[in-house]
Structure formats: C-alpha cells, structure tokens
C-alpha cells in the first residue's frame, strides 16, 4: 500500500458542558486529526496529546511539528505491507508515543479499508458490541454528582467512574455508592494524591470500589506498589503505562491489578494489543480508556475493546454526551450499556467534512516527502 499524501488538521470541538478533572476545566476539545490517502482510500485518526503537557509530556505543538517535519516525510511516497512494517521503519524515534499513534492508527484504518474488513477483525476482536461505563467529571456539589450518577445508571451504563481530587473524594464517593447499590463504581485521581495522604486513600479503600485509577504520580510505579500492598481495592494504572514493558513491570511488582489501555497513549494498536496480551498472561483484566475523543478516536477505541481480555466496561460512552455535533456522520450511541461496533471496512465511520471544516483551526496538506530515508537510530 503506497501512501500518497496526508492531511493534518488542528480541530477545536466545543463540549456540550464543561468537563472538570484534577487537571482543570475543559470547555472544548482541541486535537490533531490526521488523514492518510492511498489509491483512492482514506484512513483517519486523532492524536490525544493536549495543548499543555499535563497528562503526559507530549503536546499538540510538538506532535504537529514531529508529524509534519519528520514522520510523514519519511513514510509518504513509499509502499507499506502492513502496520508492523510501517512502525519498524519509525523505531528509531524515541518516545513521542501519542504522535506516532496518530500515524499508526490512521494507517490501521486505511489498511483495514484496503482489505474491506472491519478494524476489529484485523485486530483479532471477538465481539460485535462492547460494555460501556461512563466517566463523570468533578461536579458543583455532591447532590449534583449523585443525581448525574443515578441518571446515567438508569440509562444502562455498566460502570460509573468518578473523577476525584484531594478534598473531593470520600464523602462524595460514599454518597454515590449509597445511591447506586451494587452497580460498579470506580474513581480516577489522575495522579493527584501522594502516600502522604494515605488516610484518605485508606478511607476510599473501605467503600467497595471496583478499582482506584492512577492515585499517585504519573511516573511512579514504586509508590503504587507500596500503596497496593496496603489496599484491598485493586489499583488500576493509566498514565504510568506507555508500553507492554511498563505493563509487565507494573504487574510483576504489584503496582496494580488491572490496566487502563488508551490506544493513543501507548503508541497505537500494535502496542495496545501487546499490553492486552501481557495483562492476560498475568490474569489481569484490561479496559479501554478515553481521552474525550471525537467520533474518529472513539471508533478506534470501540474496535480495540473487542479484544478478548477487555472484560471491564470502557469509557466509550455515547458521543451525544459530549458533542452537540460530532465530526463523523454515523452516530456512536449506547443502548442498555452496550456500544455496537461500527460496521463496514476500517473504523466504519466517515468524516462529516462540511462540519469538520467549520471546527478546523489550521490545515496542512503534506503531498511530497522531503526524504525517503528512515529516521536515524540513536
């Protein structure tokens, strides 16, 4: 498959309502959208890096520069047999997993379309629908949080995830648990606690949570291992895990008992599958996390979550929870807590180009590579 050209866009999509986490408040989602073209076909993916390096160290500015000036010029105008060959060509680039995932995922979509197969099929998926939970941002009050949690439970979501931060944790979680009964509830701290707050973390441990996600620093597996040894509630790692090696080390040292796989965080579908397989070898479940993606990224997540060891409900809830209008034509909506896998070749979704143009801030067409040489190995 010869990659003929590419298009990079910076898109800003307004959220229906603000989404607050320990990082701050989001009112729109700004992201990189990459389209790859080959022999009349098109594949697309979005990057999950942020404007500021708050979740991980990558940024939108850095990713755009790397993709436009280094990565795309090294792959356009050449033939690639499959995603593995493409990514081996780029193996000399260290880090920058989110930027590389943007290319890798777009190529997976393109390659699956060339085979006229759904992405889930070529990834090795086993489901036609996936169980879905919902992630609730930090609300104005405990009462508002309980009301939102109950509302989403009544809509059939299989798990309620609550964003927490110091001072917004035990009392709120206790109230939600009391209102929801046996429905699984989890919390996500986005690395906002330390072992110095062990009393709060132990209090959360008494509330019957399904798991506690990334309570400690984004790059500290050792303290997570210390904390897990003190806790009955399983810990789930997110920001700490960027590769299958990270997952192996974390599970070996007891830093967690399950893993949140975000395909855009770990470098793409190839590494996501490796993490999935490593976790399965440790009998540790995985689930598919989200980064407030538009329908393009959400479709990639849904297809990935069809793999066998994705046994916990993921964050692939209905697009209509976030957007008044999405950038794809197909609705991605749950029913009874299950998200159907989009049918058709590739991700099974198509861009709504007239609307996409209205939310595009910048656009760059990459049509001729500067060089066909592979990036130099360090």
Catalytically active residues, by annotation: 163, 262
Q: Which residues have C-beta within 8 Å of that of residue 188, sequence separation ≥ 6? A: 21, 135, 161, 162, 163, 164, 213, 214, 238
Beta strand pairing call for 5-21 and 24-38: antiparallel
Contact in structure between 251 and 223 (CB atoms under 8 Å): no
Q: DSSP code of 48?
A: -
Q: What is the 3-state secondary structure (H, E, C) of 313-340?
A: CECCCCHHHCCCCCCECCCCCCECCEEE
Backbone region of residue 96 per phi and psi (left: phi > 0; alpha: psi in -120 to 50; beta: other values): left
Q: What is the DSSP string of 77-114?
A: TSB-SSHHHHHHHTTTS-S-HHHHHHHHHHHHHHHHHH
Distance of CA 155 to the CA centre of its chain: 23
Reduce the DSSP state of residue 13 to 3 states and report it: strand
Pair 291, 264: CB distance under 8 Å: yes
Residue 308, classed as helix, strand or coil, is: coil
Q: How many CB atoms lie within 10 A of CB 175?
A: 15
Q: What is the sign of the dihedral through the CA atoms of 145, 150, 155 and 161?
A: positive
What 3-state DSSP class applies to 302?
A: helix
Give the list of residues 6+ apart from residue 12 with CB closer than 8 angstroms, or none.
28, 29, 30, 359, 361
159 CB contacts (<8 Å, ≥6 apart)? 131, 133, 134, 183, 184, 185, 186, 210, 312, 313
DSSP letters of 157-169? -S-EEEE-BTTBS
């Amino acid at each position: 498959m010869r990659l003929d050209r590419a298009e990079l866009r910076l898109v800003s999509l307004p959220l229906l309502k603000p989404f607050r986490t320990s990082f701050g408040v989001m009112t729109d989602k700004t992201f990189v959208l990459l389209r790859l073209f080959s022999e009349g076909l098109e594949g697309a993916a979005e990057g999950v890096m942020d404007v500021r390096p708050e979740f991980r160290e990558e940024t939108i500015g850095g990713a755009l520069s790397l993709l436009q000036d280094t990565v795309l010029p090294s792959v356009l105008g050449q033939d690639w047999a499959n995603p593995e060959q493409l990514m081996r060509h780029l193996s000399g680039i260290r880090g920058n997993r989110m930027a590389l995932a943007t290319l890798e995922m777009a190529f997976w979509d393109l390659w699956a379309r060339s085979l006229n197969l759904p992405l889930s099929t070529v990834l090795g998926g086993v489901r036609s629908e996936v169980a879905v939970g919902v992630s609730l941002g930090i609300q104005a009050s405990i009462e508002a949080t309980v009301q939102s949690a109950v509302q989403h439970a009544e809509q059939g979501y299989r798990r309620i995830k609550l964003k927490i931060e110091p001072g917004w944790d035990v009392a709120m979680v206790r109230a939600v648990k009391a209102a929801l009964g046996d429905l699984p509830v989890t919390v996500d701290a986005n690395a906002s606690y330390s072992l110095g707050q062990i009393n709060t973390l132990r209090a959360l441990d008494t509330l019957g949570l399904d798991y506690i996600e990334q309570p400690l620093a984004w790059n500290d597996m050792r303290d997570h291992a210390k904390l897990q040894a003190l806790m009955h509630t399983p810990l789930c790692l997110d920001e700490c895990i960027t590769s299958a090696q990270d997952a192996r080390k974390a599970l070996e040292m007891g830093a967690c008992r399950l893993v949140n796989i975000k395909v855009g965080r770990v470098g793409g579908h190839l590494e996501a599958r490796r993490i999935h397989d490593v976790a399965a070898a440790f009998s540790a479940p995985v689930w598919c996390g989200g980064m407030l993606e538009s329908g393009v990224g959400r479709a990639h997540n849904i297809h990935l979550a069809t793999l066998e060891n994705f046994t916990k409900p993921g964050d692939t809830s209905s697009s209509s929870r976030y957007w008044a209008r999405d950038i794809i034509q197909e609705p991605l909506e749950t029913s009874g807590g299950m998200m159907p896998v989009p049918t058709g070749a590739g991700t099974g979704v198509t861009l709504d180009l007239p609307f996409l143009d209205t939310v595009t801030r910048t656009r760059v067409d990459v049509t001729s590579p500067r060089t066909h040489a592979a990036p130099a190995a360090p």
